[in-house]
Structure 1
Amino acid sequence: MNARIGEDKVLHFVGGNLFGMVGAGVANQISDGNRAWTFAGSVGGSLLIGLAKESIDQNQYGGWDNSDLLATVLGGVSVGVTIDVFKQKKKRKREQLYRDAIGLKIEYDKQPIETISPETSLSILAISPRVLSETY
């Protein structure tokens, strides 16, 4: 009986994962990639499916189980955290690739800000250094 209970919670967790991914994807599209909304979509998607499943269980079997609902929501939370971690890693890598592409080498706490030229600063902002001169 105990193995069956564990298996049931695993299924709820996996279901929360799947619907959390759907919710995160929808929220990510609607919010243009906002981290907080993507996470909220992940949790919301898993919460909605968890509430629906427990409502069905209550009507069919007379058995609402808060621990099943918790397992489902935790599946959505785990997806939300995973997405956020990988998005931040991808963002840091993209920023490093950009710094490498423009030839900007900054060693934090070792290079004073005065050594960065206005041209480099403008390049970081994706503005042409020609803006400083009056020729276009």
Structure 2
Amino acid sequence: MKTLTSTVLLLAFLMQSYGQVERDKVLHFTGGALFGLAGAGVAKQISDGNRTWTFVGAVVGSALAGIAKESIDAGQDGNQWDNDDLAATILGGITVGVAIEVFSKKRNKQGPRGSLTTEYLEPINFRTNYSDMDVLVQQDKLPTLTSFGFSSKFLMNSSR
């Protein structure tokens, strides 16, 4: 519930602040996010899923797109290089990088989850001693419950 309330408040704040940002900056942010996503995907494939390089790929992908766009703008008549546009583009890549980092936490697949155990148990401690089993199984017959240590009095009371 706490997360839902925080999300609703954040969205309400963002809707109000959207009117304060130029449309051009929003487009640069969106473009940076898309190119950052592409850069993160490429970096993830190259680095075999390394989370640090995935984040770097998102930022570098958006930075390259922003620099290319601003270089084109600077070469046009009546247009110029705008550092604010470049910052909005790179911020889009950073946002995607952080989102990927948050939603792709590496899960520990080594042991059980929760509070089942916190220590490693050696498999060698769970081996069966076959010489003890030979004592229980005699002449190919199943052992009686009294051979397991149950008294006949206990067995009589539990059957009722």
TM norm structure 2: 0.59
Match of 1:124 in 2: none
Match of 2:73 in 1: 57
Residues 24-79 of structure 1: CA deviation (Å, up to 9, x unaligned): 00000000001111011000000000000000000013410000000000000000
CA separation of 1:50/1:71 partners in 2, compared to 1, >3 Å: closer, same or farther?
Answer: same
Number of equivalenced pairs: 108
Residues 79-128 of structure 1: CA deviation (Å, up to 9, x unaligned): 0000011111xx33xx379515xx9813xxxx6x4xx5312xxxxxxxxx
Q: CA RMSD in A?
A: 2.9
Distance 1:30 1:15 in 2: 23
**Of Structure 1 and Structure 2, which has the larger fraction of its residues in helix?**
1
Distance 1:14 1:117 in 2: 50
Confirm whether residue 43 of structure 1 aligns to residue 59 of structure 2: yes
Distance 1:54 1:39 in 2: 23
Confirm whether residue 105 of structure 1 aligns to residue 116 of structure 2: yes
Distance 1:97 1:86 in 2: 20
Confirm whether residue 69 of structure 1 aligns to residue 73 of structure 2: no
Q: Which amino acid aligns with 1:118?
A: E
Match of 1:122 in 2: none
Where 1:10 maps in the other structure, the secondary structure is: helix
Match of 1:123 in 2: none
Percent identity at matched positions?
54
Q: Which amino acid aligns with 1:23?
A: G
Give the 5 Å matches for 1:1-136.
Answer: 6-60=22-76, 61-88=78-105, 91-92=106-107, 95=108, 99-100=112-113, 105-106=116-117, 113=119, 116-119=120-123
CA separation of 1:58/1:73 partners in 2, compared to 1, >3 Å: closer, same or farther?
Answer: same
Structure 1: tracts of 5 or more residues without a match: 120-128
TM norm structure 1: 0.69
